[in-house]
Chains A and B, each alone.
Chain A
Amino acid sequence: MTDRLPGFSTLAVHAGAQPDPTTGARATPIYQTTSFVFNDADHAASLFGLQSFGNIYTRIGNPTNAVLEERVAALEGGTAALAVASGHAAQVVVLQQLMKPGDEIVAARKLYGGSINQFTHAFKSFGWNVAWADPDEIESFERAVTPHTKAIFIESIANPSGSVTDIEAIAAVARKAGVPLIVDNTLATPYLIKPIDHGADIVVHSLTKFLGGHGNSLGGIIVDGGTFDWSKDNKYPMLSEPRPEYHGIKIQETFGNFAFAIACRVLGLRDLGPALSPFNAFMILTGIETLPLRMQKHCDNAKAVAEFLAGHPAVASVNYAGLPGDKYNNLARKYAPKGAGAVFTFSLKGGYDAGVNLVSNLRLFSHLANVGDTRSLVIHPASTTHSQLDDAAKVKSGAAPDVVRLSIGIEDKDDLIADLDQALGA
């Protein structure tokens, strides 16, 4: 019998999950427990020594979370994954494996505003320096690389602008520099884009958005592409050198092509502590089962709404990569042929005030600081998510004062269009 390859929707439902060993429960149980009993002293020692597969304590691993991890690893085509408490936690845990004080990361200027804050302020206090590069100008990444560079970080589809990044071109820069490419795939999800297929080495997500998809649970995940050789030179001692916290184990030598995920778990999550609640893991897993259905509907609705806005007299411009003629339409067709996502921005002829007005007149769209909910959402980034940035940085990250961001939900598209129409006319 030859192996038949299951498709994406089958993986979204099945990967990582199987009926419970003791009860036969078919849905993944919520293992709401802090700890797991050992069979005997030897079993405990081999678990703590990483010699056996199994569970110890939920800060290090949990069976519900493990199903989520394998599910997302399978959807992304990675070797392993680690779920953590939030998207931001995922980013800290990843970089803790790679960076020491004085090291640098090259990051795309077009990132979620919270990530720009995290990189600029929190990471600076760890002694990790950021060099910003412009994803619209690939050479700027090359120019930003120095001997201290340890990684390159981009978003596949950027928040809030919805612009599509040329992952393969930046992966080539990373390969030449001998550093891993980390892609935040939150806005695309693996249904639209699988960054590892395009040369990414590590994928991170805020599970809070489309993967969970229902606006009810925070979570984050790190996916190991299994593609990077951490022991090639001495750049990544967390992976290549004997680890004193595990009596001298070398992580890559022992765990091969899923060593990065293991390092994130046993060195990062264990010691930094941002564990995901098993309850949240369950909610997110349930969301992922319908990811392909939801994501297609999100994209189809977004395209219809973007087309409507583009024809509206009060609208100055619409930035949706799914529209023909958009600056990013070619990249969208290459990387995300099923749809260009459901988060995009537009600007109003009436500027800042018109933006504020629109938000207050909408009846179906919710005014809040999130994306990737079943519900349609609206926000004015300049006064909220990106308010800490100065005006120049706002413009560069796609959050100019006249810009409104939408996250299109899975309602009936005609109702969304009618709501925008009445709010724009009011």
Chain B
Amino acid sequence: MNHDTYPDNYIRGILNSVKSIAMVGASPVNVRPSYFAFKYLAERGYDMIPVNPGHVGKSLLGKPFVASLADIGRPIDMVDIFRNSSHIMPVVEEALRLSPLPKVIWMQLGARDDAAAAKAEAVGIKVVMNRCPKIEYGRLSSEISWMGVNSRTLSSKRAPMPTQGMRLSLNRMSVGGGETAASDRAAKNKTETT
């Protein structure tokens, strides 16, 4: 997989197929990006599990924190890692010890570890790096258009009025294969400067 740009169909396929998401590094602090994403994905009907050893005993929007992926005790479809790039590898290694394996490992906006991605892909796990599932879901459903964001999709069908817990259709027509020249360049500038 080329991890600089993802075709919309790849992201769409993942968000349409996974049901349970373990979020590693989920924060109960309501201004942290992980809290935003956790809350949104729960509202869109995903079965969310917060993983953070620092908050065991507490819960996030009614879901109890667990200390590690192994503590979840049931199969999960996707591991969403809210950690810096330097902390990705141990989480991926932990995910690779799960049985059954998760289908997807997703690394948050700003996080990228190509070696860890290669390990996961070698055993058939799909990997997404440096993206936010909330933003991608909002984009492909066009819900993010309320914020003037370019969803890079079109549709001539009536838009849904999203309600709590409602899954939205992500099957809109894509513009530019899911990547504008601009965001390609941003990704490139970023790798050049770091």
Residue numbers of A with Cβ under 8 A of B are 1-6, 10-11, 14-16, 18-22, 24, 39, 46, 49-55, 61, 63, 65-67, 69-70, 73-74, 77-83, 196-197, 225-229, 232, 242, 246-249, 253-258, 261-262, 265
For B173, list chain A residues within 8 Å (CB): 3-4, 6
For B156, list chain A residues within 8 Å (CB): 14, 18-19
Chain A residue at minimum C-beta to C-beta distance from B154: A14
CA distance A16 to B125 in the complex (A): 34
In the complex, whether B123 has a CB less than 8 A from a CB of chain A is no
The 5 closest A-B pairs by CB, nearest first: A69-B148, A73-B150, A3-B174, A80-B149, A21-B161
In the complex, whether B17 has a CB less than 8 A from a CB of chain A is no
Q: Are B149 and A261 in contact (CB under 8 A)?
A: yes
CA distance A228 to B185 in the complex (A): 9
Q: How many residues of B contact A (CB 8 A)?
A: 52
Q: Are A225 and B175 in contact (CB under 8 A)?
A: no
Measured between C-beta atoms, what is the minimum distance from B41 to chain A in Å?
Answer: 12
For B30, list chain A residues within 8 Å (CB): 49, 51, 247
Q: Are A265 and B181 in contact (CB under 8 A)?
A: no
CA distance A67 to B147 in the complex (A): 9
Apart from the given pairs A52-B40, A80-B150, 4 other A-B contacts in the complex at a CB distance below 8 Å = A2-B9, A15-B154, A227-B189, A255-B135
In the complex, whether B27 has a CB less than 8 A from a CB of chain A is no
Q: Are B177 and A257 in contact (CB under 8 A)?
A: no
CA distance A15 to B135 in the complex (A): 18
CA distance A260 to B135 in the complex (A): 15
Q: Are B175 and A11 in contact (CB under 8 A)?
A: yes
Q: Are B177 and A3 in contact (CB under 8 A)?
A: yes
**Which of B124-144 touch A at CB < 8 Å?**
132, 135, 138, 142-144
CA distance A61 to B39 in the complex (A): 22
The contact sample of 29 A-B pairs, CB cut-off 8 A, is A2-B9, A3-B178, A5-B174, A18-B154, A18-B155, A18-B159, A19-B156, A51-B30, A52-B39, A52-B40, A54-B146, A69-B148, A70-B148, A70-B151, A73-B148, A74-B150, A79-B182, A81-B148, A81-B150, A196-B181, A225-B185, A227-B186, A227-B189, A229-B186, A229-B190, A229-B193, A232-B193, A257-B183, A258-B147
CA distance A228 to B7 in the complex (A): 22
For A5, list chain B residues within 8 Å (CB): 174-177
**Which of B157-178 touch A at CB < 8 Å?**
157-161, 163-164, 173-178
Once A226-B186, A256-B109, A257-B186 are accepted as A-B contacts, the answer to whether A6 and B180 lie under 8 Å apart by CB is: no
Residue numbers of B with Cβ under 8 A of A are 7-9, 30-31, 33, 35-36, 39-40, 43, 109-110, 132, 135, 138, 142-152, 154-161, 163-164, 173-178, 180-183, 185-186, 189-190, 193
Q: Are B161 and A15 in contact (CB under 8 A)?
A: no
For B143, list chain A residues within 8 Å (CB): 53
Q: Are A6 and B35 in contact (CB under 8 A)?
A: no
Once A229-B186, A253-B110 are accepted as A-B contacts, the answer to whether A258 and B149 lie under 8 Å apart by CB is: yes
CA distance A54 to B149 in the complex (A): 12
For A225, list chain B residues within 8 Å (CB): 182, 185-186
For A49, list chain B residues within 8 Å (CB): 30-31
Measured between C-beta atoms, what is the minimum distance from B150 to chain A in Å?
Answer: 4
Once A14-B154, A39-B164 are accepted as A-B contacts, the answer to whether A51 and B40 lie under 8 Å apart by CB is: yes
Name the residue among A77, A196, A228 with the largest chain B CB count within 10 angstroms. Answer: A77
Q: Are A3 and B9 in contact (CB under 8 A)?
A: yes
Chain B residue at minimum C-beta to C-beta distance from A47: B146
CA distance A19 to B163 in the complex (A): 18
Q: Are B150 and A78 in contact (CB under 8 A)?
A: yes
Chain B residue at minimum C-beta to C-beta distance from A175: B189
For B31, list chain A residues within 8 Å (CB): 49, 242, 246-249
For B150, list chain A residues within 8 Å (CB): 15, 70, 73-74, 78-81, 258
Chain B residue at minimum C-beta to C-beta distance from A54: B146
For A4, list chain B residues within 8 Å (CB): 173-174
Once A197-B181, A229-B193, A257-B186 are accepted as A-B contacts, the answer to whether A66 and B154 lie under 8 Å apart by CB is: no
CA distance A233 to B193 in the complex (A): 11
From B144, B147, B159, B175, A15 is in contact (CB under 8 Å) with: B175
Q: Are A61 and B175 in contact (CB under 8 A)?
A: no
Chain A residue at minimum C-beta to C-beta distance from B174: A3
Measured between C-beta atoms, what is the minimum distance from B65 to chain A in Å?
Answer: 19
Once A15-B175, A70-B149, A78-B182 are accepted as A-B contacts, the answer to whether A254 and B33 lie under 8 Å apart by CB is: yes
Chain A residue at minimum C-beta to C-beta distance from B160: A21
For A10, list chain B residues within 8 Å (CB): 154
